Amino acid sequence: MPWESLKSIMPKAVRSAGIQEKMTSVKVLDSSARILKARWGEKKSAMVEFTSFNQGTLKIATTSPAAMQMLRVEQVAFINDLNRLLGEKAVLKLDIRSQGF
């Protein structure tokens, strides 16, 4: 039996275990936070929380009206940067909501 690399085995194992969607969700949430921190810095990005990702929609909660407005203005560029980092067109839209103001 020939040896297969872990890189070739993992995608098949993830699909067969039925956790592909969950792994994509975790990857999107982590990458979103990194991109926003790089764009806005530590202090401003702390006002934003990426809450969930499901079927192409990234849900975002923010405690700042200004942050909410900036996310709406930068929405297309943010989605493009995120999908570029992910290497696929996973995020199709943002659902931005206020939290606590």
State pLDDT tens for residues 21-43: 788 889 999 999 999 999 999 99
Q: What is the rounded average pLDDT of the residues 63-79?
A: 95
Q: Which amino acid is at 85?
A: L
Phi, psi of 64, rounded to the nearest 5 degrees:
-125, 125
Tell me how far apart the alpha carbons of residues 70 and 16 are, in angstroms, rounded to a whole number: 40
The domains located in the chain, with CATH, are: 6-98 (3.30.300.180)
Sheet with 57-62: list strands edge to edge. 48-54, 57-62, 93-98
Does the pLDDT of residue 101 top 60, yes or no? no
* Contacts (Cβ under 8 Å, ≥6 apart) of 42: none
Global pTM value: 0.79
For residue 16, give both structure tokens: 């067969």
